[in-house]
Amino acid sequence: MKFISQFRNAIYSKDYIATFAENTFGKVVLYLFLLGLIGSAIITVLLLPPIVAEIPAFSTGNFITTYYPSALQIDITNGVVATNVAQPYFISVPTNDGGSAASDTPKNLLVIDTTATDTVQALETYQTAALLTSNELVVKKNTGEIQIIPLDKVTKFHLDQQVALEFFKKSLPFLYAGGVILVILIPFLLSALWTLGQLFFMLVLAFIVWIVAKVRKIKLGYKKSYVLSGYLLTVPAVIGFVCGLFHITDPLIVTVLLFAVAAIVNVKQREYHDV
């Protein structure tokens, strides 16, 4: 494959300038994207096993039976809310191992109070992410903005644990399909973001290539230095990827130094004429 040949030559080539300097901007973008795609695909595959292991438990809907109170029933008729529980009724934010939620996290996920009049104040008083009143659903967004959703258009609605569980199980095929599509798309999205970041980084790295060429009296303009920098990023990118797999911090200065070494090793005098 052409990519494998490019990858091998990008690590080291006796005639680096002649091999890569004439390539177009589009070719270096494609090379970086494919390089990032391989790394992103490997990361995605490594992250899948623990996620897949949770699918059997997830498919049973156990989180619904755990967090949705079995006794709670909510009915909305012509925009008016009614419940079968004493109010105010609190559904707390789930916490791991019985610990407490973070300081900036609301204590409650939902509070039902059909007698509340000052809904905004009640939202703050109850320290809840959402408040269900007699005719409104009041939600506090992550940005701190409060959204009030009128329920006057809801003519008939019933919710209890069994209804929630049945709805979830009917949605499973769509959730699985969405999960498969997401797994396929994630490597492409990660690679696109990584490539974009490298293209901006190369604006600086190109100066290193240009300086090396200048010192060695090689006539190499900034444009071709920029193209070369995309291929010279191969070694730093691979080393950074491997370090990431083992949770080893790869400081930016190390990446720059590795790039500089790659430039010194590969950018040498050859029969070449800048255009």
Give pLDDT < 70 ranges for the chain.
1, 96-104, 270-275
68, part of any domain: no
Q: Report the side by side order of strands in the sheet with 156-159.
A: 80-83, 74-77, 156-159
111, part of any domain: yes
pTM: 0.78
**Residue ranges making up the domain that contains 87:** 73-159
273, part of any domain: no
Q: Residue 101: count other Cβ atoms within 10 Å of its Cβ.
A: 16
pLDDT for position 43: 94
147, part of any domain: yes
Query: Do 104 and 181 belong to one domain?
Result: no
Query: Do 91 and 145 belong to one domain?
Result: yes
Query: Do 36 and 79 belong to one domain?
Result: no
Closest CA to 175 of 41, 74, 54, 50: 54
221, part of any domain: yes
Domain stops at, among 133, 159, 185:
159
pLDDT for position 272: 43
- Name the amino acid, one letter, at 47: L
Burial class of residue 183, CB neighbours in 10 A (0-12, 13-18, 19+): middle
Domain stops at, among 111, 129, 159:
159
